Structure 1
Amino acid sequence: MSTPLPSSSPSLLAASNTARPLLATITLASPLPAASSGSTSPWSWSTISRERKVVLVVLLVLVLVAICLLLIYCKIRRCKRRRPLCSASPSIPLSSATCNFTLDQVEEFTSGFSEANLLAEGGFGRVYRGVLPNGRVVAVKRWRVGSRQGESQFWAEVEILSQVHHRHIVSLVGYCITRSELILVYELVANNTLHLHLHGEGQPTLDWPTRLKIALGSAKGVAYLHADCDPKIIHRDIKAANILMDFDFEVKIADFGLARFTSESNRHVSSRLMGTFGYIAPEHSSDGIPTEKSDVFSFGVVLLELITGRKPVFSTCNSMADGLVEWVNLVEWARPQLTQALKDGNFDSLVDHRLQNNYDDNEMACMVACAAACVHQSARRRPKMSEVVRALEGDLRLSELNDGIRSRLSILYRFWRRSDNGTSQDLGNSQRMPLATQEYGSSHYSESTASEYALHPSGLSSVGSSRRTTRDLEMGKIERESRFHRRLLSSRVMVS
């Protein structure tokens, strides 16, 4: 009989069965390893309460709404700052004849803005020569981005040139607008500027018929801006450097960066002088308001350049012995000579010596009279550009180159004569002149008008026809004014 093993005894088996559940309980109650403890995060979305979930969703929606509102606000500000495009997108041409070029296209037809294609350079940026795919040669103005003044001039030029179409105004072919580039594409006027032809070194002398052609073409361009555009436009920077010419010397007026519509002129009052020194009208420096008569003054300076061949501000050699150079304003230098030339009909001291007296006396008298009227110190007494065009074409008597005051007073005087005699009479210059002087109440108006606008008998008008009689010169200021008012009062009584 064998002896049983200790492990097989009933008591030991019972103790073993009792210990196994206890061991299992202890094992489950022990901590889990680190790897298994990370399987359930205490910050997971499922552990967040419903109230907190709602709060987080609301906050996220508010942030998104705020971002959208900020983007909309920035877009509105950008559109307002670039108002010249109005509601048009930069990707839409401003007119049927205006193209929207991409930067890659511009770089392609300028050969990557090659230095070999550089035409000019200034404070605004650079101008390059370009050739479009259809073979058309253009001028590409690449604006220097960074200054607000430069950007405002860019948008002004885009707005105005997209609406202006005239044979004597440079045409806008297209534009390119990117975040880093502002580019305008014009027709190329290949024969450079009037400034270069008049004042450039080594340039051949412009003959007199060419100068007269340039004067008339420029006058027509400015007159179109003042009278035929809707709304009317003030250029504000008429000068020889902004008058371009082709090889037939047909004129194109360019550079409208400072131009303004007349409806906006009063909103651009500034203490800063806008324009080019030597061309700025005297009244513009005092009130800062651009007007059509400011353009007329600047055009008068251009006429003086064509007549004299001198720059708007030139130097004299009188003080060279002291090592000093005296600078002279062309208008101030020319005014007394204009008066004397119109009085005696001798233009030798005034005319460009390079012409060698090869000019027509009547045509010279016409241009001198126009220049004298345009650069008049008083803006009111300057003519309209349409009147200058008529005078240069020979359709207007030069003694009538005024700002309209004399013509309005002439109408009033004709009205008085018609109501007095019952018939309409044709009044000569000698009859209209006293009325024109009575508005100012001084003999200076009549004398300066006779000397500045009347011509030598060999010209198109006569001095004697515009001078006042001795009796009128001796009349005092009070007597003349009272006589004028009596006539005006009597005409009203007769009509009533």
Structure 2
Amino acid sequence: MEDQPLILLLLLVFFSSYQLPSSAYTLPDKYFINCGSNIDINITSRTYVGDMNSGHVSFTKENSYVVDNNPASNTPPALYQTARIFRKKSSYNFKIDSNGSYLVRLHFFGLSNLPTSVFNISAAGFVLLHNFTVQNSDKTAVIKEFILSIPIGEFSIHLVPQGSSFAFVNAIELFPAPPDFINDEHSDDHKGRLSPAFHTIHRINVGGPTLTPENDTLLRTWLPDDPYLYNVHTAINKQDLSAQPNYMAPVNKFIAPAPVYMTAKEMNIDTSRQSNNFNVTWSYDVTRNARHLVRVHFCDIVSSSLSNFQFLLYIDNYLSPEINPYQATGLLATPFYVDFVVVSDDSGFMNISIGPDSRSLVKTAFLNGVEIMEMMGESDFVKSKQKSVFIIVVPVVLGVGGLVLVCIFGGLLFIILRSKKLKSIETPEWLPLTAYKGSTHSNRKKSQQSTRSREGTINASPVPDLNLGLKIPFFEIQLATSNFDTKLLIGKGGFGDVYRGTLRTGIKVAVKRSKPGSGQGLPEFQTEIMVLSRIRHLHLVSLIGYCDEMSEMILVYEFMEKGTLREHLYNSELPCLSWKQRLEICIGAARGLNYLHRGATGGIIHRDVKSTNILLDENFVAKVADFGLSRSGPPDQSHVSTDVKGTFGYLDPDYFRTQQLTEKSDVYSFGVVLLEVLCARPAIDPTLPMDQVNLAEWGMLYKKKGLLEQILDPSIKPQINPNSLRKFADIAEKCLEEDAADRPTMSDVAWDLEYALQLQQTAVVQESHEDSTTNVSGMLLPFIQRLPSMTAQFQSDDTSIIREDDSCSLLSTGEVFSQLKIDDAR
């Protein structure tokens, strides 16, 4: 477990939704240093003072400076024509007047008369750059930006040459950041847990052009997003240059300049497509296995009017809280931002995606800007071997006057309650994305090809007639299962793993997930959806929904609290089922199968009836499950199948021999289940002697010899009424007839099982000479089956769409026997 890469830690960092805007802040004059020079240079309204002239800055004496000697035609910008060079460990020293966060920018430009160098830079106890070298083949400056927490006093930037090399720097910027620029002080739970040092990796103007320091309030550079976009066809540029964005607290022009919020990327919706269920994804290179502060900027310039509009944001394909522009701002064209702390994996890439929310009236998504900053150093919040997830929703609250105060307290209350609730969502690990997202990249080209292929599979459902009303977004399933936490794993099968989960509506579910990206099991996946979306019955497991996003195949069912029938019969620590419970379970399963055969439109053959596909709810009500192998068609019509499917031990030998599939194949399999219930052993047990390996053959051999009692489950032997036992054995024997034509229908099986239960429940102790199930059966069953009203009543009850009670409902049986006036079933 420990060698798996850390994948994701999502934390919405607490920002003050009740702070005053930083309108009082102005860009300070110091420190802007032109290194290696005695000349002051004015750039973008800032004066970069020559380090030889500054009275507030000192640097180590053992140094030299260099001036570029290129011809005039190739002369670099004035700020980069000189540099300060250090041959030994040296430092720049600054006087700090106030505590707080400071922006530190270091400018490097490889002059033509400087050889390549390797050096380290450290400050405030952090190594800012390690084995750093400058390759200026394209003759552009390299600017490294950091945000450091600095106390009052002397602050030093140390430059340390490596080996026989040297260190150099062309320019330095050091000035206080705006108030609350990065702030976690408003969370009691997480106060002070953010790193005091950040290294800016990316600053992206999504949907817009390059923004240079001349366009930015803090002299930052914002790059366009197109080089990072996976598939350029999934998004379009949007811009609104007609008006300035509506800055409202806590967002101001220093968080991001107006041009960032006046442009955006929006989903490229194609109205001619049946489905526009895709994500727009960007991939950014980041530091491996490191914490990053990710700031995403939003400003709705894509909507023409206010509407009920929310969309989804993913980081490395893990869901963040939904983005709702109007819950955050209440106004059009009003900026807001959200911060996350993300632990990267060892791929060296981080994916950020936006996509539509199926619950939103407007099916689109947009993004205005992205900033990614590596959080330097180790803190108590993240341990190298701990992989926990905290998601804390913090809305941006806006308003004026008294409304602000109301929103403040409401927002704080929401934060407290929400954070306490969601802190419990902790998992020991996030599953590696490489298992199903293809997010480990050897290079960007490979990742782009992978994503284009992947996105091509999620624009529509795998087959056109899947029930789109049952689709559940992948992020909802992640939330329901705590991102497929192994602690919630409740089973494994041929299709995939099964997890326990709880939807946000509070509904408990079972989530069956195919091996991600394998493509195996697609026909079964489609069949299951098509079958279960058409039918509802008390004794059939209900399909809550499915997910087919991003090569996933996930089925979501109602949760069956007591698990499978098999788990309660053998090889389990679960309490033993009584004989009465077993009869009721068999009756329920028979009713469910009868509905499939006769009640469902067109008729459905299950094809994989077995004890693991009969599930039990909290009241031990049986429900048939797993319809991946099902076939539809008229119940009396045979299907020729060259691909015989089923489970060994339950497979109908007549079907296997003739390849003629009918509903009687399900009847045979159910007969094997009846013997499992009776004997509490597997259908096939290779550890037993040869004549006992196959339960159907062994059970029928003992039945014909009159020795059935010798192979009963010892735990129920004292409970069984002999009449009930004999009737039950007769039913199993009929189901297991070699010739399919000789087997009963599931309607007959259900009816006979009801009778076996009634025999079990008889309150009269019969005399020994009366104890004859054969005689009772011979007298009563032909008479009962000739009553048309009885058969009609059973069919009507059995084919009801939904039954309100959760019991096995023996009312119809009681009514039948009361009408027959058979006292105590005699």
Q: Give the TM-score of the pair, scaled to structure 1.
A: 0.58
One of 279, 284, 300 as aligned partner of 2:655:
284
| C-alpha contact (below 8 Å) 1:316/1:326 kept by paired residues | no
Aligned match for 1:167, one of 517, 534, 538: 538
TM superposition shift of 1:270: 3.7
1:355-370 aligned at under 5 Å gives the runs 355-370=716-731
> What letter matches 2:567 in structure 1?
L
Give, in whole Å, the separation in 2 of the partners of 1:306 and 1:295. 16
For residues 570 and 758 of structure 2, what CA distance do their matches in structure 1 show?
32
What secondary structure sits across from 2:775 in the alignment? coil
Structure 2 CA distance for partners of 1:254 and 1:287, relative to 1, 3 Å: same
The CA deviation at 1:251 is 0.4
- Give the secondary structure class of the aligned counterpart of 2:693: strand
Tell me the secondary structure at the aligned position of residue 709 of structure 2.
coil
1:310 is matched with 681
3-state DSSP of counterpart to 2:676:
helix
1:123 and 2:436 matched: no
Identify the residue that residue 381 of structure 2 maps to in structure 1.
Answer: none
1:290, distance to aligned residue in structure 2 (A): 2.0
> Deviation at 1:265?
10
Q: Who is 1:377 aligned against?
A: 738
Distance in 1 between residues matched to 2:756 and 2:566, nearest whole Å: 28
Higher-Rg structure is: 1
User: Residues 297-446 of structure 1: matches in 2 within 5 Å?
Assistant: 297-315=668-686, 328-341=693-706, 347-394=708-755
Alpha-carbon shift at residue 78 of structure 1 (Å): 10
- Contiguous gaps of at least 5 residues in structure 1: 1-67, 319-324, 399-455, 467-496
Show structure 2 runs of 5+ residues with no match: 1-269, 275-452, 760-768, 780-826
Letter in 2 for 1:461: T
Q: Secondary structure at the match of 2:672?
A: helix
Offset, 1:224: 0.8
1:251 aligned to 2:622? yes
Deviations 1:298-323 (A, max 9, x none): 000000111112211124655xxxxx
Give the Cα–Cα distance (whole angstroms) in 2 for the partners of residues 215 and 349 of structure 1. Answer: 22
Deviation at 1:143, TM superposition (A): 1.6
Q: Partner letter of residue 659 of structure 2?
A: G
The Cα shift of 1:389 comes to 1.1
**Deviation for aligned residue 1:246:** 1.7
The answer to whether structure 1 residue 182 and structure 2 residue 553 are counterparts is yes
Secondary structure in structure 2 of the residue aligned to 1:199: coil
**Deviation of the 1:273 alpha carbon:** 3.1
Rounded Cα–Cα distance in structure 2 between residues aligned with 1:146 and 1:305: 36
Contact 2:728/2:756, CA 8 A, preserved across alignment: no
Alpha-carbon spacing, 1:247–1:338, altered in 2? closer, same or farther (3 Å): same
1:216 aligns with 2:602: no
The offset of 1:183, in angstroms, is: 1.3
Q: How many residues align?
A: 320
Instruction: Return the offset for 1:145.
Output: 4.7
- 1:226 & 1:159 partners in 2: Cα distance? 16
- Could you tell me the TM-score, scaled by structure 2's length? 0.36
Shift of 1:263: 4.9
2:771 to 445, 458, 477: 458
Check conservation: 2:678, 2:713, Cα contact below 8 A: yes
Using the TM superposition, give the Cα deviation of residue 357 of structure 1 relative to its aligned residue in structure 2, in angstroms.
2.5
Deviation sequence 1:307-340 (CA, Å, 0-9, x none): 112211124655xxxxxx7762111111132224
* Structure 1 residue 80, shift from structure 2 partner: 11
SS in 2 for 1:394: helix
Counterpart position of 1:49: none
Quick one: distance in 2 between partners of 1:187 and 1:299?
23
- After superposition, give the CA deviation of every residue in 1:381-400 in whole Å (9 maximum; x if it has no partner): 000010111111229999xx
How big is each residue's C-alpha offset from its partner over 1:469-488, in whole Å with a ceiling of 9 and x where there is no partner? xxxxxxxxxxxxxxxxxxxx
In the alignment, what sits opposite 2:571? Answer: 200
> Secondary structure, in 3 states, of the residue corresponding to 2:550?
coil
- Output the CA distance in 2 between the equivalents of 1:260 and 1:285: 16
User: Aligned ranges for residues 18-29 of structure 1 at < 5 Å?
Assistant: none
Counterpart for residue 154 of structure 1: 525
Aligned Cα RMSD in Å?
3.5
CA contact (8 A) 2:517 2:552 kept: no
Give the number of the structure whose residues are more often strand, by fraction. Answer: 2
Tell me the percent identity: 38
Q: Which amino acid aligns with 1:176?
A: C
* Amino acid corresponding to residue 632 of structure 2 in structure 1: F
